[in-house]
């Protein structure tokens, strides 16, 4: 029984997911998006990448290009789960 508990705990710990928030408007033509990723999904690096992909997709949908204003990322636990926040603008390409 104890072996089963250890295996079940390891499965839960190392099973991974990642999640990315919806894009939120935080100012005039300025937006924010957040993401979290489990270690098996790439942790902090994957969280940053996922947030940037969501930001880029939002700007493309508006027919514009992304201009990153600020990024932050941090490790959420000792196993390597990570989070990232991206603040960005959608701008028209210069001629």
pLDDT tens readout for residues 20-51 = 889 999 998 899 999 998 888 888 888 999 99
Q: Tell me, what's the pLDDT at 67?
A: 96
Coil vs helix vs strand at 15: coil
Over its C-alpha atoms, the chain yields an Rg (Å, rounded) of: 17
DSSP summary character for residue 80: -
Instruction: Give the residue with greater pLDDT, 28 vs 55.
Output: 55
Check whether 10 has a pLDDT greater than 60.
Answer: no
Check whether 5 has a pLDDT greater than 50.
Answer: no
DSSP summary character for residue 77: S
The whole model's pTM is what?
0.78
Q: Tell me, what's the pLDDT at 15?
A: 53
Looking up tokens 């997709």 gives 57
Is 66:86 a contact under the CB 8 Å cutoff? no
């Amino acid at each position: 029984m104890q072996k089963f508990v250890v295996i079940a705990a390891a499965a839960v710990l190392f099973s991974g997911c990642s999640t990315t928030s919806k894009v939120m408007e935080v100012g005039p033509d300025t937006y924010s998006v957040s993401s979290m990723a489990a270690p098996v999904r790439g942790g902090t690096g994957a969280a940053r990448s996922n947030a940037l992909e969501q930001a880029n997709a939002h700007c493309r949908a508006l027919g514009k290009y992304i201009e990153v204003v600020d990024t932050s990322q941090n490790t959420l636990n000792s196993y390597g789960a990570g989070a990232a926040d991206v603040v960005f603008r959608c701008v028209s390409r210069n001629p």
